[in-house]
Amino acid sequence: MAVPAVRRAPIRDGMSPPAKPPMKPPRLSFFRQTFTVAWKDLRSELRTKEALNASFAFALVILLLFSIAFEPTEDETRQISGGLLWLVFAFAGALILNRSFARELANDCLDALIAAPMSGAALFLGKTLANFVLLSAVEFVCLPVFGVLYNVRWTQQFWPLAGVIALGTWGLTVVGTVFSALTVNLRLRELMLPMLVYPILIPCLLAAMQLTAPLVMGEPLTAELAQWIRLLVVFDVIFSALALALIESVMVR
Amino acid sequence: MRDKTILVLSWFTALLLAGNLAIILLVLPDEASQGPIFRIIFFHVPVAWTAFVCFFAAMISSIAYLAGKNLKYDSFAAAATEVGLAFGAANLLTGMIWGRIIWGIWWTWDARLTSMLVGWIIYAGYVMLRRAIEEPTERARMSAVVSILAFADVPIIFFSIKWWRTQHPQPVVYGGGFMAPGYWYMLFLNWIPILLLAVVLLLIRMRQEQTGREIDALRREVHAF
């Protein structure tokens, strides 16, 4: 089952005579590889919609359950909205992330992907990008539902809110995709992924919750909230860098 | 050779601990505002430092494993993390006992308590992950990656939770240089045997890991026939 990664030697331009046409197609650039993987993931997800449907249905159920469990008044909604939304996003995200690498297990697609002539980082970044797009889609469908169920006019600070959600979701997906790759061969995959990911995500979720609560209620960002934006950015940068540096050790066996 | 080292170190640690305990219990006077319970700090703080040192050592060892793929470093990282977890638990428990007497409550979502708990849970996940992977080299690779990610998260968690808690009214403020210099001296004096205890546990745990791997290899050999 273990297939060593095959690396194609780079085509040397100008050194070799052009008489022979290259046998293999030229290597795609890093970003082309990334987008190819991301596009492949998105297309296969859009055809089956299995993770997307599950994730969205699960998010809806949780939104409904929270509303029944707490019956929040307007003031209470103001207080809990950030935490509530990010818990929903984190739960919905776990379903998408679980499928991200598990989808490739059938027909040994994962081994083929790892053996493909591209770096592990490109594969990882492509998958992260696809997860980011999918989770963002779920989130932006959840927000209007949240607005209706909880009587909140959440669009008043739309762009700052979208920015915060993008930063938080990137942190969630970048850490989550590493762990998705890490847990893909485990029997208890569905259990281990959230158990490992959520504690590590605490700073990211905490910052996103602090920022989302006022923004959803239509209050502008204040100067004292700026530290949370900084924290989100720092978290995203550190973990993106670490993930790219470590992903080769996770995937190539 | 290693057995002897462990034995000698254990005795030395026990003697040092006993000597320190005598000083802590019999010689040092009660602290003015807290009474006798303050003595728990001579264990509470050094075990936290020790846990931190263990997790740091585990991260360095994990990097060394990824760089050289020597399973010895993996054993060391696993042993250090488990010993760190034990000392982290000791830190949380002694803190809770102290809190029950001074604050009247077992637990509060204070910055340091929360950070320690979150860190502890992350490393508990590391141990669970190791249990879930059977193939030794795969287990070593995966857990090394988790160890590095976990340690990178520790300072971020600490600051985020500190900011989070300071935004709320704080019922209790703990720390802030209230200790007399003699107490600081005792704190460091007691850190020595506690650190040595960690080393002893680490050596024992590492030997278990290596023996486990040898048994595993033998079992595979038997199955191959």
Highest-confidence range of A16-25, A85-94, A183-192, B187-196, by mean pLDDT?
Answer: A85-94
What average pLDDT does the structure give for chain B? 87
Name chain A contacts of B128, Cβ cutoff 8 Å. 192, 195
Tell me how far CA of residue A39 lies from CA of A35, A118, A127, A133, in angstroms: 6, 15, 9, 10
Number of domains present in the structure of chain B: 1
Q: Specify which residues B31 forms β-bridges with.
A: B35
Tokens of B74: 């993996």
What value does the CA radius of gyration of chain A take, rounded to a whole number of Å? 21
Q: What is the pLDDT of residue A21?
A: 58
**Closest Cα of chain B to A54: distance in Å?**
26
Residue B91 lies in a domain: yes
Is residue B31's pLDDT more than 80?
no
Name chain B contacts of A242, Cβ cutoff 8 Å. 148-149, 152
Please check whether residue B133 touches A, CB under 8 A.
yes
- Return d(Cα A8, Cα A91) in angstroms, integer: 40
- Return d(Cα B56, Cα A218) in angstroms, integer: 43
Is residue B174's pLDDT more than 80?
no
Highest-confidence range of A11-20, A45-54, B144-153, by mean pLDDT?
Answer: B144-153
**Closest Cα of chain A to B63: distance in Å?**
10
Q: Compute the count of residue pairs across chains A and B with CB atoms less than 8 Å apart.
A: 78
Please check whether residue A9 touches B, CB under 8 A.
no
The predicted model gives B36-44 an average pLDDT of 85
User: How do residues A114-130 score in pLDDT, each as one tens digit?
Assistant: 888 888 899 999 999 99
Is residue A152 within 8 Å of residue A217, measured between CB atoms?
yes
Is residue A10's pLDDT more than 80?
no
Q: What is the pLDDT of residue A8?
A: 56
Share of chain B above pLDDT 90, in %: 47
Question: Which amino acid, one-letter code, is at A11?
Answer: I
Which 3 state secondary structure label does DSSP give B167? coil
The predicted model gives B141-169 an average pLDDT of 85
User: How do residues A22-42 score in pLDDT, each as one tens digit?
Assistant: 566 666 788 999 999 999 999
Is residue B32's pLDDT more than 80?
no
The predicted model gives B165-169 an average pLDDT of 59
Q: Tell me the H-state helices in B104-135.
A: 111-132
The predicted model gives B93-114 an average pLDDT of 86
Q: If we measure between CA atoms, which residue out of A94, A109, A105, A111 comes closest to residue A186?
A: A105
pTM confidence score:
0.86
User: How do residues B1-14 score in pLDDT, each as one tens digit?
Assistant: 778 888 999 999 99
Q: What is the pLDDT of residue A39?
A: 95
Q: What is the pLDDT of residue B178?
A: 56
Q: What is the pLDDT of residue B147?
A: 96
Range of the domain at B153: 2-25+35-224
Q: Determine whether the interchain pair B132/A188 forms a contact, defined as Cβ–Cβ distance below 8 Å.
A: yes
Is residue A14's pLDDT more than 80?
no
Residue B30 lies in a domain: no
DSSP structural state of residue B40: G
Best B116, B123, B129 member to test A by mutation, with max A CBs in 10 Å, is B129
Q: What is the pLDDT of residue B172?
A: 43
Please check whether residue B168 touches A, CB under 8 A.
no
Is residue B173's pLDDT more than 50?
no
Name chain B contacts of A250, Cβ cutoff 8 Å. 141-142, 145
User: How do residues A39-66 score in pLDDT, each as one tens digit?
Assistant: 999 999 999 888 899 999 999 999 999 8
Residue A150 backbone phi and psi in degrees, to 5: -105, 10
Is residue A171 within 8 Å of residue A237, measured between CB atoms?
no
The predicted model gives B73-77 an average pLDDT of 94
Q: What is the pLDDT of residue A118?
A: 86
Q: What is the pLDDT of residue B201?
A: 94
Where exactly are the structural domains of chain A? Answer: 30-251
The predicted model gives B168-194 an average pLDDT of 67
User: How do residues A135-169 score in pLDDT, each as one tens digit?
Assistant: 999 999 999 999 988 888 888 889 999 999 999 99
Please check whether residue A211 touches B, CB under 8 A.
no
In A, minimum Cα distance to B131 occurs at A186
In this prediction, residue A253 has a pLDDT band, given cuts at 50, 70 and 90, of low
Q: What is the pLDDT of residue B203?
A: 93
Q: If we measure between CA atoms, which residue out of B131, B121, B1, B150 comes closest to residue B63?
A: B150
In this prediction, residue B158 has a pLDDT band, given cuts at 50, 70 and 90, of confident
User: How do residues A159-216 score in pLDDT, each as one tens digit?
Assistant: 999 999 999 999 999 999 999 999 998 888 888 999 999 999 999 999 999 999 999 8
Please check whether residue B32 touches A, CB under 8 A.
no
The predicted model gives B149-164 an average pLDDT of 88
Q: What is the pLDDT of residue B216?
A: 85
Is residue A176 within 8 Å of residue A131, measured between CB atoms?
yes
In this prediction, residue B167 has a pLDDT band, given cuts at 50, 70 and 90, of low
Q: What is the pLDDT of residue B169?
A: 46
User: How do residues A95-119 score in pLDDT, each as one tens digit?
Assistant: 999 999 998 988 888 888 888 888 8
**Closest Cα of chain B to A223: distance in Å?**
13
DSSP structural state of residue A29: P
